[in-house]
């Protein structure tokens, strides 16, 4: 018996993702504002993925069910004590003139975010992991970090069985965040157990 093809819907038409469809325009505008303040030209950057934040497990589950209707879950695992699902979408998400076909959906953690919905993008800057901050900061204009509401944070998230180090440099204005990594999430997933 031939295998039946499953029709994948456009993400904006999925009931479980209605709130995210409404939120994407505002997120794109806030992201453009932050990038402008930083002097960062996002059009020349490789946007690896876009990420969400929520406060309740029921919201994460609803979004998970929605993303399964328009993409494929590449991985669901624990990172820094909470579950994170990574989706590859059949059609890219477009926001503020940018696009990506990868969504990161973390389950709620201890930290409460001011907004449930789209929270950050992650940009890949290939090269040695120890020099990530230097590469990222070189993309920002002089004085870009002088504003008191602009914060920078370094971290080294690592999921179960991940052997490829992928440090993070995050820049935020408290509303949206732009993160930089040396490797794509797909590379991290592919390199597990090496």
Domains held by the chain: number:
1
Burial class (CB in 10 A: 0-12, 13-18, 19+), 163: exposed
The helix (run of H) or strand (run of E) holding residue 52 is strand 46-53
The string of DSSP codes covering 54-104 is -S-HHHHHHHHHHHHTTEEEEEEEEETTEEEEEEEEEEEEEETTEEEEEEE
Please check whether residue 8 lies inside any domain of the structure.
no
Closest CA to 154 of 136, 141, 165, 167: 167
What is the pTM (predicted TM-score) of this model?
0.88
Domain span at residue 93 reads: 15-190
CATH number of the domain residue 59 falls in? 3.10.180.10
Q: What is the pLDDT along the chain (194 residues), one digit of tens a residue?
A: 444 454 567 999 999 999 999 999 999 999 999 999 999 999 999 999 999 999 999 999 999 999 999 999 999 988 777 899 999 999 999 998 999 999 999 999 887 777 899 999 999 999 998 999 999 999 999 888 888 999 999 987 655 555 566 789 999 999 999 999 998 888 877 765 33
């Amino acid at each position: 018996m031939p295998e039946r093809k499953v029709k994948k819907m456009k993400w904006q038409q999925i009931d479980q993702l209605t709130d995210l469809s409404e939120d994407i325009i505002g997120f794109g505008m806030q992201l453009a504002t932050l990038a402008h303040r930083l002097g960062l030209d996002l059009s020349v950057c490789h946007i690896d993925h876009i990420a969400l934040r929520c406060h309740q497990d029921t919201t994460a589950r609803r979004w998970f069910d929605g993303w399964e209707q328009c993409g494929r879950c590449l991985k669901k695992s624990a990172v820094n004590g909470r579950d994170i699902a990574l989706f590859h979408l059949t059609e890219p998400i477009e926001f503020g003139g940018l696009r990506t076909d990868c969504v990161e959906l973390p389950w709620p953690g201890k930290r409460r975010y001011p907004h449930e919905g789209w929270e950050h993008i992650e940009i890949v800057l290939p090269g040695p992991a120890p020099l990530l901050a230097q590469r990222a900061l070189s993309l920002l204009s002089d004085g870009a970090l002088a504003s008191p509401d602009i914060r920078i944070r370094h971290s080294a998230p690592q999921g179960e069985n991940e052997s490829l180090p992928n440090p993070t440099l995050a820049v935020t204005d408290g509303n949206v965040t732009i993160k930089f990594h040396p490797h794509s999430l797909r590379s991290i997933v592919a390199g597990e157990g090496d």
